[in-house]
Structure 1
Amino acid sequence: MDIVVCVKQVVDTEAALEVDAAGEVVTEGQTLVIDPYSEFAVERAVQLTEEVGGTVTLLCVGDEGCAATVRHGLAMGAHEAVILTDEAWRTRDAAVCAAQLAGAIEPLEPDMVMGGWKSGDTAAAQVMGRLGVLLNMPVATMATAVALEDGTARVVCEVDGGTEAAELPLPCVIAAQQGLAEPRYPSVRDVMQARRKKIEMRDAPAVEVPKGGGVRVVSRTLKPPRAGGRIVEGSVEEAVAATVRLLAEEAKVLA
């Protein structure tokens, strides 16, 4: 079972973000980590190969600065890693990124391609679906469970109001949702062994970029600070009546 897992480097989701004058997220001085949704995919891929054998290859579009992120995946148990170098990777849209990944994945002929259903930074939720189209593979997205049986992938996916069970023939694309697997904490021994694993640096496949760069982010703004709550005083009856009035007249959430 050969699995390719697409991973991405993002700013730590617990960090306080800053935006510069150009509307770009400031990464200098920030902790850069493997994307949480990518991490779910890495963990389940490693588990699958522990169950049935095979290899897990990490694939990351980025630059040399992504090495630490990729090594985290190697410490989790992935066997190989490739960084597709593109100095402009942070500004690439989902269409270009998916095309770069597809160009690198196709000659590998994996049994399964995995990754996060969205990323923790842009949350565009497009790359894995586009990969399925480019690779001509069936896709299951927002997957919370994956099992292998008789040459098929049995997948449980989160949908509005519930879950959906599906069977996909291999090869296929699985986009991970939170809950697919609980990422392991690599031991010191795992981390040291990962440092000895080679990360292949390879130029990202040439992709025709649409004039203007496809989707171009014009600007970004941070969410406004959360406003403080309001305390409604009085007896229980008075407080309830006042709260209902505020919800209807000010918050406009009651008709």
Structure 2
Amino acid sequence: MKWRTVMEVLIKGAGDLATGIGWRLVRAGYTVWMTDLEIPTAVRRSVSFSRAVYEGEAEVEGIRAKFAKNFEDGRRIASEGLIPVFVDGEAKILKSLRPEVLVDAIMAKKNIGTKIDDAALVIGVGPGFTAGADCHRVIETKRGHYLGRVIDSGSAIPNTGVPGNIGGYTVERIIRAAGDGRFVPLVDIGDTVEAGQTVAVSGSLPVKARISGIVRGILQEGVYVTKGMKAGDIDARCERNHCFTISDKARAIGGGVLEAVCGWEHGI
């Protein structure tokens, strides 16, 4: 096994769940690199390192990430103790970095290119991966009893298409695009809204809140959306601090990844 002074982990994806993973790994002493799309679509962007792509930098609970222009820039950023974030939807940086660990946290509900020989340890997050086939470990992402579980053989629970229950609501809490086109939010993360209120415009059509609560996440202005696409999240519990801190789900999944990495590191 090839070791460096500090083990490096590449995470595909930099949305809120991937950020929870990266945050826990950095806190445990690992060096983390991340990739995302040119136009990220994380709705919980206040707690997503993907924000570094269009803002240059992002900080989540004391851990900082910075946009990396190229591999050399990423090396410099990592040497400063920050997380480099690349615009690299296909994770081509993998060939240059050659990390010990690869984590696929794109959350596409299917495997769109990760292979078990991409790194010494390959971890698939959520449905679409099979431990022992296209990765070494799978992390359960469905809310409930098994959330964050490390799966050594087999797959995670299949995607149900129904969002997890938060504050007594599932599908109702999701803000979805009303039409195809440019997305323009009319509220900010942390704002309180009422059921029926217009919270955004997509494709010139009003996007209305289905429940009253606090805006926990919403897409940034300018993203091209399609009708029905997830564009935001309303939390009926109205805890403002929840909008700007890592969720229980992301922490649990991050803990599962950390368990898998530590176990592999110790030969378990």
Give the shorter-chain TM-score range: 0.3 to 0.5
> TM-score, length-normalised on structure 1?
0.34
Larger radius of gyration: 1
* Larger RCO (CA under 8 A, 6+ residues apart): 1
Bigger share in helix: 1
> TM-score, length-normalised on structure 2?
0.32
